[in-house]
Chain A
Amino acid sequence: MPENGTDRRGFLKYAGGAAVTASLAGCLGGGDGGDGTDTPADTEAEETEDGGGGEETDTGDGGEELPDFPVTITQGNMPSGLDPHDHRETPTDVVMLHAYEGLITRDAAGAAQPALATDWSRVDGEDAAEFQTRSDVTFHNGDTFVAGDAAYSINRIVDPDTGFASPQSDQLAGVSGASAPDDSTVRVTLDGLNPIVFSEFATYCDIMQQSWVEERSKSEIGQQMNGTGAFQLDSYTQDEQVVMTRYEEYWDDPAEVSELTFTAASESSTRVNQLLQGETDIIVNVPPQEVNRVNNSDAGSVSAAPSTRILYNGMRYDVEPFSSQEFRQALNYAIDLESIVSNVLGGFGAQTGQPTLPEFVGHNPDVDPYPYDPDEAERLIDESGHAGVEIELNTPVGRYLKDLEIAQAVAGYIDELPNVSASVNQRDFGSLTDELLTGNIEDKPPWFLIGWGEATFEGALVMTALLSTDGALSTWSNEEFDSLLETAGNSTGDERVSALQEANALANEQAPWIFLNQQFSVYGVSNRVSWEPRSDERIDAYAMSQA
Chain B
Amino acid sequence: MSLARFLIKRLLQGVFVVWGVVTIVFGLRVIAPGDPANVLLPPDVAPEVREQVIADLGLDEPLYVQYWDFITGIAAGVPEGLFNILTGEPAGPMGLGTSLTTGTSVASRVGRSLPATLELAIAATIVAVVIAIPLGVISATRRHQPADYGATLFSLAGISTPNFWLGVMLIIVLSVQLNLFPTSQRAIGIPGVFDLLVSGQIVAAAEGLRTWLWYITLPAITLGTYFTALITRLTRSGMLDELGKTYVRASRAKGLPETLVRYKHVLRNTLIPIITVVGLQLGTLIGGAVITEFVFDWPGLGQVLINSINSRDWPMVQGSLIVIAVGFVVVNIVVDTLYTLVNPRVGFD
Contacts and interface: CB of A to CB of B under 8 A. Distances in A.
Interface of A: 1, 4, 7-8, 11-12, 14-15, 17-19, 21-22, 39-40, 43-44, 77, 80-81, 86, 88, 167, 170, 218-219, 222, 238-240, 263-267, 269-270, 273-274, 276-277, 279, 428-431, 433-434, 436-437, 439, 465, 471-473
Nearest to B192: A15
Given A22-B198, A430-B312, A437-B43, A40 B103 contact: no
B69 interface: no
A274 B295 CA distance: 11
Contacts of B192: 11, 14-15, 18
Query: Secondary structure of the A side of the interface?
Result: helix
A434 B38 contact: yes
B199 A81 contact: no
Interface in B279-312: 294-297, 299, 303-304, 306-307, 310, 312
A273 to B, nearest CB: 4
B90 to A, nearest CB: 6
Contacts of A19: 195
Contacts of B195: 15, 18-19, 21-22
A8 B187 contact: yes
A219 B88 CA distance: 16
A8 B101 CA distance: 29
A277 B175 contact: yes
Contacts of A277: 175-176, 179, 182-183
Given A43-B90, A270-B295, A81 B183 contact: no
B47 A430 contact: no
9 contacts: A1-B179, A11-B207, A14-B208, A15-B196, A43-B89, A170-B42, A239-B304, A429-B34, A433-B38
B38 A437 contact: yes
B204 interface: yes
Closest 4 CB pairs of A and B: A430-B34, A431-B33, A472-B44, A18-B195
Contacts of A11: 187-188, 192, 207-208, 211
Contacts of A12: 187-188
Contact of B182 (A8, A263, A428, A439): A8
A153 to B, nearest CB: 19
Given A80-B101, A437-B38, A40 B89 contact: yes
A294 B103 CA distance: 37
A266 B302 CA distance: 12
Interface string B107-124: 001001100000000000
Contact of A167 (B41, B294, B296, B297): B41
A222 B44 contact: no
B45 interface: yes
B152 interface: no
Nearest to A86: B103
Interface string B192-235: 10011011010010011001000000000000000000000000
A273 B43 contact: no
A267 B294 contact: yes
B340 interface: no
Interface of B: 33-35, 38, 40-45, 47, 87-90, 101-104, 109, 112-113, 168, 171-172, 175-176, 179, 182-185, 187-188, 192, 195-196, 198-199, 201, 204, 207-208, 211, 294-297, 299, 303-304, 306-307, 310, 312
A266 B185 CA distance: 12
A18 B294 contact: no
A14 B34 contact: no
B201 A222 contact: no
Nearest to B177: A276
Contacts of A429: 34
Interface centre among B44, B103, B175, B296 (most CB of A within 10 A): B44
A391 B198 CA distance: 67
Contacts of B41: 167
Given A40-B89, A43-B90, A434-B35, A14 B294 contact: no
Nearest to A78: B307
A14 B295 contact: no
A273 B184 contact: yes
Contacts of B88: 44
A43 B88 CA distance: 11
Contacts of B33: 428, 430-431, 434
Interface centre among B43, B183, B204 (most CB of A within 10 A): B183
B146 to A, nearest CB: 36
Interface centre among B41, B43, B89, B192 (most CB of A within 10 A): B43
A14 B42 contact: no
Nearest to B309: A430
A263 B185 contact: yes
A201 B36 CA distance: 29
A274 B90 contact: no
A273 B175 contact: yes
A279 B103 contact: no
B102 A222 contact: yes
A81 B182 CA distance: 28
Interface centre among B45, B113, B172, B195 (most CB of A within 10 A): B195
Nearest to B296: A270
A12 B175 CA distance: 21
A471 B44 CA distance: 8
A81 B102 contact: yes
A1 B178 CA distance: 11
A267 B185 CA distance: 12
B34 A167 contact: no
A6 B304 CA distance: 27
